[in-house]
Amino acid sequence: MAESSPRAVSPRTPGRMPRPARADVRSRLLEGARQVFADRGFAAATLDHVAAAAGFTKGAVYSNFAGKDELFLALMEDEVAARLAAIEAAMADARDLPEALAAVATELGRLDPRWQVLFLDFWQRAVREPAVREVFVATRREFRDRVTAVVAGFLARRGVAGWDAESLGVVLLALVHGLAVESLPEPGAVPPDLLPRVLTRLVADPGA
């Protein structure tokens, strides 16, 4: 029997890079959106800008998000989770309310300052556009409710009187946002211990 000829070996073709997992794509798109929205402003930013910042095409954006509004709301969901985690961690081991609020203020102060710029940008849009406002308000209300639940748990565990959890949660969020806005153009204008000092005075004398 004739010896069979050796099989031809095709030249090796370079292997394709594995496609990133959907969760990784989403994470990179959100980080790109955070950067682009904060740098350019929400109105001026485009999905092309977001895709380029993330290293993808615009098709990747549309395969994960319906548009800019959905991107922002996803960013807000991530930010809410980070802020809640900071609040819970700060309150977990505090011995009293002033100490807890000082710890909360310190933890929240460490979060990404770019978020405040983006939040204010979208906040203006929500104030002016009823359809956007409805979704925005629902998300913010859910955040306040979750903060209230954390504060209520602390007040109950420590037997703190004179404050209700809902009011204290609103005051905490309002002060955090207000001082963050004040420090955006001039970071040194707000001393790092100002928020803890104000909160300590407030909880020491709720009727003040």
pLDDT of residue 27: 92
pLDDT of residue 50: 95
pLDDT of residue 48: 95
In this prediction the pTM is 0.73
pLDDT of residue 93: 77
Same fold, 21-65 and 69-204: no
pLDDT of residue 26: 93
* Domain residue spans of the chain: 21-65, 69-204
Gap between the Cα atoms of 25 and 32, Å rounded? 10
pLDDT by 10-residue block (mean), the chain, 208 residues: 46 56 90 91 92 93 91 89 84 79 75 80 90 90 88 80 84 85 84 80 64
Gap between the Cα atoms of 77 and 13, Å rounded? 43
Gap between the Cα atoms of 55 and 33, Å rounded? 12
pLDDT of residue 16: 57
Q: Fold for 21-65, please state it.
A: Arc Repressor Mutant, subunit A (1.10.10)
Would you give the distance in Å from CA 207 to the centre of its chain? 33
The CATH number for 69-204, chosen from 1.10.357.10, 1.50.10.10, 3.40.50.1000, 1.10.10.60, is 1.10.357.10
Buried b (16+ CB within 10 A) or exposed e, 63-99: ebbeebbebbbbbbeebbebbeebbbebbeebeebbb
pLDDT of residue 18: 66
Gap between the Cα atoms of 162 and 116, Å rounded? 31
| Residue carrying the six token digits 């802020």 | 83
Gap between the Cα atoms of 172 and 90, Å rounded? 13
User: How many CB atoms sit inside 10 A of residue 154's CB?
Assistant: 23
| Maximum distance among all Cα pairs of the chain, rounded to whole angstroms | 106
